[in-house]
Structure 1
Amino acid sequence: MLFIFIFLSSWLLLSHSCPLTDEYLSRCHCGILTNGESYIKCEENSLNEIPKFKRSFPYDELILTNNNIKFLTASSFNNIKTIKRINLVGNALSYIDEDLLRLLGNYLEELTLSGDTEIDTLEFLTRYPLKKLRVLKLNDFNLNHVNLQNIFINMTKLEVLFLQSCQLKQIPQLNHIQVLNLENNLLSKSIFLSTTYAQLNLANNQLSSIILQNNPDLISLNLSRNFLQEFYSLTISNKKLSVLDLSFNHLSTIDWTSLNENLTYLNLSHNHFQQIQINSHPKSLTSLDLSSNQLKTLENHPLYEQLTYFNLNHNLLDCNCHLKWLTNLTRQALFTCSSSNDFQCQSMLIPRLLNFNITYITMASKTGLLIEWILIDNHQTLSFVEITIDQMLIKLPANQTRVFISNDIQSNKYYYVCLILIHKYSRDKYCRDVQTWEPLIVSQLDFDNNEIVQSDGKSDHHVYLLLIGTCAGGLLTFILLLTCCYLCYQIHKYKTSNCQPVYEQCSQQYPYPVYHCPHHQIIYNSENLSNSTDSSHIETSLSPTQNRHHQHHHSCNHSKHIYQTIDSQDFSTLNGQNYQIFELWNQSLKHKR
């Protein structure tokens, strides 16, 4: 009773002391909540400006949502400076004065504003320190060219930030923010996500692919209403992720092994899934939504038994005998049937497995698994048969009843072998655990070629990879050999061009005909000329052998001066016109000396 009395007294006091001027009292009212917090709230579509306050009063919240307020001036909150929360969502603000919050820095904890996409600055947030601001929600601003890191670097108390419909093209890195909402922006194409956020909302953007790399603190991620065709997650660096929303995308498959063990909620509704193949699943998952996909049937899996919420509504489920297990789940699944089969099957039309045996044997020095089965398929509805052994997949024709797999099979190991029947109505899966301890010795078995086609234990894609690797190695070797040949040719060419025989240098240096290059030749540079006054002395001081060695050494070092002599026996062979040419050449050399 005392509490009720105090509450009524407070309410009467507030109702008579509402700090609004008379012109706003008919459209606004003051009140108090059961937790003791006070508020001022004005009716929707009734205001074109911030109401006038006749005195300051310590109210906790000002609610002016969905009105027609356009301008926020420096004096808009003058008489309500102790307010903690201001909510102006739904007002298409076109102007905010930079001094708007000058009196609210010591009290304001939460601010919600909606613009009209014309406001492209956040100067009003940085003009004065906002010491207690914890939650900031901005809608319909133009922040594409605003440096958000600089804006929020000093707001150390800020934890929750909403930047919805703000024309952002990138995800800002704001280390002290815990919750970031970037819904309905311009994020596009593929992104590699590495953040420090605990909750991140990227819904209603234009993302086509996302890879979660390093998000150690991420707990909740909303990627709904994008254009995702691929989703990948590195489980080691995203261990805390527990809520994942991938609804309303273009996904047709998902890698269940990339989902971390702490995941509890997964939404895959409104995608393009035609079948669900679960090879591994989070043991903590309790809520799964697969509604509004293209599923016709679903294989029973232990995952579905652990769910507390399982939605299959709005699919194309054929409710025949293969889906009867849905009705036996501990917690009833939500599903709708596209046909009224009442979970019955025409058993004579479906292939039946009568026998399925797996034996670990040694035959003709080969040890492996002999897999045999017996089927009844009177109406020939079986399309083909698949065998899976761990990560290996073997596809076999419908009429085959056994296969021997050897090379990849190891002793002292457990194998999980499945026989999958792909037929007209569905796909039936039968699995066995096999232990390869002591092989059974078999003398001889007759196999057709198609029954030992997988005897090497490798699936087709392994063979293709081996062939591709061989071709790539051969091509690389050829390129290396070609490169070596080219380098050898260039080295040989360089040596030849820089160390020509003496007779070639002789013939190339003089423009007039020289029929015989001299047998004795001394080549030296200008520096040697400066130290010697008589070139003949240099010539005569060398023996014939030394002379030839001296000639070769200088010719390979690009000598600048050439001095040559001709033996008497060569001189005697000249006659007529050749002798005159020789005399002219010899006189020119003497003149140069």
Structure 2
Amino acid sequence: MFHYYLFFLFISLIESCPLKTVDSRSGCYCGIEIDGTNYIQCQPYSIEIIPEFTRSYIYDKLNLSFNFIRNITYESFNKLRVKKIYLQNNLIEFIDKQSFNNNLLNYLEELHIDILNNGSLEVFCYGTWQKLRILELSGFNLNKHQSCFEKFHRLEKLIIKNSKINFLSSYLYQLPYLHELSLINNQIEYLNFDINNNNDNHLTLSSSPSSSSIKIFNLTSNQIRTISNDLFQHMPLLHTLDLSHNFIENLPLINQNNLLNINLSYNLINYIQLNDNQTNYDLSYNPICTLEKSQSKKNLFLKKITQLHCDCRLAFYLNDNLINKSKIIGINQPFDNETKCSTPISFHGLFLKDLTYEQLFSTCSDVLPVHCREVNHFQQIQNYTNYIMETTTTTTTTTTTSAIQSTKNTTQIDKVTQKLNNRLAVSSFRLTSFYTSYENHSLTIYWDFDPTFSLNSLTFIQFQIILEQESSSNTQIIRRSGFISPYLKQYTIHHIPSNKNYYVCLLLTRSSFGTDKYCREARTKITTTTTTTTISNTILS
């Protein structure tokens, strides 16, 4: 019976499809999903202008993503009634400020839109926007017209990506129902609440305390190095904070009583000291070396830790009431089974789970690798180590082994220090090749770097590809990737028209050194037998 209902519903949708022209193979068409959701869909890479609509029933969603749309005019959605619109990954350069100021806003609940070259927010200043709940923006300039957000009374979720944003006004993050705010990949360096600070890449939040309804704050993939201590005063309901993929070196100070989840994975933290038991930390993929003893390890999540200094400090952190020192450590919370030791040299590359407590206690030098921070009360840890080694049964070779190990550490410390310095010396990174090829309307970018450069240091460098094209008046961004893995050494952009001139740019963002931009000119042309690309031999910038 249900299938008959869907069949009749499908027939009625065909008859009521608002598209003036329907082409299910290479253009736009209407349809219905198994759950009854009705939609209007345009095939990827098939249209350059928004199709013409006629009056119709209310549709659940319109998907125009991954096409070549450049302009949105006042008439683009004038006769459309739809709840969700997806316009990501187009080539939008212009949006008429009256584009949404029509009957559409009586139905629109979600809008996802990308624009090139720091587009204006002025389009949101017109119309009522009385039903909008979710808004996703990419490529906009948010340093003007933030006051237009004041009318978004029902907005629940705001996502801002790849945009220019130096401040968040109270018009925006004090919206009464806004519970999730995401600022992703906006090159933000500092987050503070000083309303007089207007430096580039410094995100300033202007607000009175206890005024925000935000519960989830996402700042992933920026260039943040520190977090203001009064963040939680301005966002008292916050329970999830995502700071992953930034350049943070120290744990933020938390002054909040309620439970908080903080994602600090993929940062530069090498020392852990927990100040509270009400916060859950994800510190995976950090170059963690030493840890302070804490009351609980249950609120700490560590995955893929590979730079640990494995000695008596770590043994004390894992267990300070040890009876059997020959016990294998195994998978010991909060570490996973892929945790590796980096120093001392005798344990380099070994999995922590395969070592014994006796091996950790056998090394207790007061000399640490140069990038490591000393723990508190190290003298007490040494005394405890001596007590453990003297009061439990040991083999006759223990003393000899410890002496040999201590001598080995002393003779190898210079090598370890030099190795760790090389890992952190990201300033020495340089490209050795950078070229492209073009075939079947796909442009592939290749790069390589100095083979002597430590692969471990690549975790401190972020890669991004931009494809630009010159016009009579300015240079336009045609495509922009997100952050990509530096290990790939190649990246393909599909559906690139032939017989055109482009600039292919590789952005390298290095911790503490800013962003470098390397560009090459690419002229694509197709012959009858092969497809080639002509490339300049000079890096342009």
Normalised by the length of structure 1, the TM-score is: 0.50
Equivalent pair of 2:190/2:226 in contact (CA under 8 Å):
no
Secondary structure of the residue aligned to 1:116 is strand
Inter-CA distance 193–241: structure 2 relative to 1 (3 Å threshold): farther
Q: 1:86, CA displacement in angstroms?
A: 1.7
Aligned residue in 2 for 1:132: 131
Secondary structure of the residue aligned to 1:65 is coil
Write the mapping of 1:145-224 to structure 2, written as runs, cut at 5 A.
Answer: 146-149=144-147, 151-174=148-171, 175-176=174-175, 178=178, 179-185=180-186, 187-189=188-190, 191-192=192-193, 206-207=201-202, 214-215=209-210, 217-224=213-220
Inter-CA distance 230–348: structure 2 relative to 1 (3 Å threshold): closer
Q: 1:214, CA displacement in angstroms?
A: 3.2
Inter-CA distance 21–147: structure 2 relative to 1 (3 Å threshold): closer
Equivalent pair of 2:244/2:266 in contact (CA under 8 Å):
yes
The equivalent position to 2:340 in structure 1, one of 320, 337, 340, is: 337
Q: Which runs of 5+ in 1 are unaligned?
A: 195-204, 352-380, 385-392, 397-418, 431-593
Equivalent pair of 2:183/2:220 in contact (CA under 8 Å):
no
Inter-CA distance 107–427: structure 2 relative to 1 (3 Å threshold): farther
Q: 1:343, CA displacement in angstroms?
A: 1.1
Q: Distance in 1 between matches of 2:308 and 2:265?
A: 15
User: Partner amino acid for 1:60?
Assistant: D
User: Partner amino acid for 2:229?
Assistant: S
User: Partner amino acid for 1:137?
Assistant: E
Q: 1:168, CA displacement in angstroms?
A: 2.4
Q: Distance in 2 between matches of 1:48 and 1:277?
A: 55
Aligned residue in 2 for 1:3: 2
Q: 1:67, CA displacement in angstroms?
A: 0.7
User: Partner amino acid for 1:293?
Assistant: N
Q: Distance in 2 between matches of 1:155 and 1:92?
A: 26
Aligned residue in 2 for 1:316: 307
Inter-CA distance 155–51: structure 2 relative to 1 (3 Å threshold): same
User: Partner amino acid for 2:74?
Assistant: A
Aligned residue in 2 for 1:67: 67
- How far does the alpha carbon of each residue in 1:235-261 deviate from its partner, in whole angstroms, 9 at most, with x for none? 6665533212233333333255x2534
User: Partner amino acid for 2:340?
Assistant: C
Inter-CA distance 429–100: structure 2 relative to 1 (3 Å threshold): farther
Secondary structure of the residue aligned to 1:79 is coil
Equivalent pair of 1:311/1:334 in contact (CA under 8 Å):
no
**Deviation larger for 313-322 or 173-182:** 313-322
User: Partner amino acid for 1:140?
Assistant: G
Aligned residue in 1 for 2:330: 327
Equivalent pair of 1:320/1:343 in contact (CA under 8 Å):
no
Aligned residue in 2 for 1:262: 258
- How far does the alpha carbon of each residue in 1:10-48 deviate from its partner, in whole angstroms, 9 at most, with x for none? 234324653334453432232223443311111111011
Name the Cα RMSD after superposition.
4.1
Equivalent pair of 1:63/1:86 in contact (CA under 8 Å):
yes
- How far does the alpha carbon of each residue in 1:30-79 deviate from its partner, in whole angstroms, 9 at most, with x for none? 22234433111111110111123355232221111111111222322243
Equivalent pair of 2:22/2:29 in contact (CA under 8 Å):
no
Q: Distance in 2 between matches of 1:427 and 1:50?
A: 76
The reply to whether residue 20 of structure 1 matches residue 22 of structure 2 is no
Inter-CA distance 157–260: structure 2 relative to 1 (3 Å threshold): closer
Secondary structure of the residue aligned to 1:13 is helix
Equivalent pair of 1:291/1:315 in contact (CA under 8 Å):
no
Equivalent pair of 1:211/1:231 in contact (CA under 8 Å):
no
Aligned residue in 2 for 1:283: 278
**Deviation larger for 60-69 or 89-98:** 89-98
Q: Which runs of 5+ in 2 are unaligned?
A: 320-328, 342-348, 369-375, 390-541
Aligned residue in 1 for 2:96: 97
User: Partner amino acid for 2:145?
Assistant: N
Alignment coverage as a number of residue pairs: 348
Equivalent pair of 1:142/1:167 in contact (CA under 8 Å):
yes
- How far does the alpha carbon of each residue in 1:452-487 deviate from its partner, in whole angstroms, 9 at most, with x for none? xxxxxxxxxxxxxxxxxxxxxxxxxxxxxxxxxxxx
The reply to whether residue 246 of structure 1 matches residue 243 of structure 2 is yes
The structure with higher relative contact order (CA 8 Å, sep 6+) is: 2
Identity fraction in percent: 27
Equivalent pair of 1:207/1:226 in contact (CA under 8 Å):
no
Q: 1:313, CA displacement in angstroms?
A: 0.8
- How far does the alpha carbon of each residue in 1:150-181 deviate from its partner, in whole angstroms, 9 at most, with x for none? x2333433343344333222212223261443
User: Partner amino acid for 1:316?
Assistant: Q
**Deviation larger for 86-95 or 332-341:** 332-341
Q: Distance in 2 between matches of 1:259 and 1:183?
A: 25
Equivalent pair of 2:273/2:294 in contact (CA under 8 Å):
no
Aligned residue in 2 for 1:44: 44
Q: Distance in 2 between matches of 1:142 and 1:209?
A: 15
User: Partner amino acid for 2:276?
Assistant: H
Secondary structure of the residue aligned to 2:4 is helix
Q: Distance in 1 between matches of 2:135 and 2:360?
A: 63
Q: Distance in 2 between matches of 1:209 and 1:121?
A: 18
Equivalent pair of 2:191/2:228 in contact (CA under 8 Å):
no
Secondary structure of the residue aligned to 1:248 is coil
Secondary structure of the residue aligned to 2:6 is helix
Equivalent pair of 2:240/2:262 in contact (CA under 8 Å):
yes
Q: 1:383, CA displacement in angstroms?
A: 6.9
Secondary structure of the residue aligned to 2:111 is strand
Inter-CA distance 8–48: structure 2 relative to 1 (3 Å threshold): same
Aligned residue in 1 for 2:499: none
Equivalent pair of 1:47/1:68 in contact (CA under 8 Å):
yes
Aligned residue in 2 for 1:478: none
Aligned residue in 1 for 2:226: 230
Q: State which structure, 1 or 2, has the greater radius of gyration over its C-alpha atoms.
A: 1
